[in-house]
Amino acid sequence: MIEPILTTRDLSKSFGGLVAVNNVTLDFAPGRVHAIIGPNGAGKTTLINLLSGDLPPSGGSITFKGRNITRLPAFEISRIGLGRSYQKTNIFPQFTCFQNCWLGAQSRLKTSMKFFRPAAAYAEVHARAERALDLCGLTHRRDLPPAQISHGEQRQLEIGMMLATEPEVFLLDEPLAGMGPEESEAVVRLLNDLARDHTLILIEHDMDAVFAVADLLTVMVDGRVLATGTPEEIRSNAEVQDAYLGSGEGQA
């Protein structure tokens, strides 16, 4: 077994009386695509929010490359190499696609407390942003504001911004949500490309896509981990069949 890059131990999050994530203990291996599936309300997005620092956990711990990052704020987590994309498109509406990626790319400067040299003069940022834009397939939309591109393209831009931050671990919250089949296909290709030298943690409802890209699957129900295993193991797991695949397949 390879040393996991990201681990959670007894990770919990409750909102008032509602326990959204309940004692989740998971290991995420480097270089793998690890998908988290489960019915709506299973706590998948909350888990991602805990990993990305968007929400503080109520209990348990998160370790990234041996470092305890449980209480780190979101921006620190991003800076050490965990990037995330959002389920609901979360971009900068008044900037162009390129500028959106630019902001992601600029965040990798040691600091942006730079007041005089024009941002445009930072060649490495420029290159990173262009690369991200290219990777997510939006070069042809470079100078359009998000309002003028399709919904699927906005989803691609969402991923592009994350790419621009050049993370080691990608936290992807339903990257395919609301995409047409062609766009989906392109994004799945992109995910497969990324998977070659990155760690991907993925929430997705599109089961075909999940089985096409994931190395490992974790099934969550009611905030708990029901099972973790390879796609085959999960497919044949009776409990999963019962709790999820059997009843709630219609999600995708």
Give the x-and-dash track for 32-71 against other proteins (CB under 8 A): --------------------x-x-----------------
Please identify which residue in 7, 22, 154, 184 interacts with other proteins, judged by CB under 8 A.
154
CA 16 – CA 236 distance, rounded (Å): 36
Question: In what order do the strands lie in the sheet containing 169-173?
Answer: 82-85, 169-173, 199-203, 33-37, 216-221, 224-229
Strand bridging mode 33-37 / 199-203: parallel
Q: Which is nearer to other proteins, 54 or 134 (CB)?
A: 54
CA 79 – CA 68 distance, rounded (Å): 15
Q: Residue 16 CB, nearest distance to other proteins (Å)?
A: 11
138 token code pair: 């939006």
Q: Residue 199 CB, nearest distance to other proteins (Å)?
A: 17
- Torsion-angle region of residue 137: left (phi > 0), alpha (psi -120 to 50) or beta? left
CA 141 – CA 126 distance, rounded (Å): 16
Q: Residue 132 CB, nearest distance to other proteins (Å)?
A: 12
Q: Residue 177 CB, nearest distance to other proteins (Å)?
A: 8
Q: Which is nearer to other proteins, 28 or 122 (CB)?
A: 122
| CB burial string 63-94: b at 16+ within 10 A, e below | bbeeeebbebeeeebbeebbbbbbbeeebeee
Q: Which is nearer to other proteins, 3 or 124 (CB)?
A: 124
Residues 72-131 touching other proteins, rule: CB under 8 A, are 73-76, 78-79, 84, 86, 88-95, 99, 102-104, 106-109, 112-120, 122, 125
CA 98 – CA 104 distance, rounded (Å): 10
Residues 221-250 touching other proteins, rule: CB under 8 A, are none
Residue ranges binding other proteins (CB under 8 A): 52, 54, 73-76, 78-79, 84, 86, 88-95, 99, 102-104, 106-109, 112-120, 122, 125, 145-147, 151, 154, 161, 165, 177-178
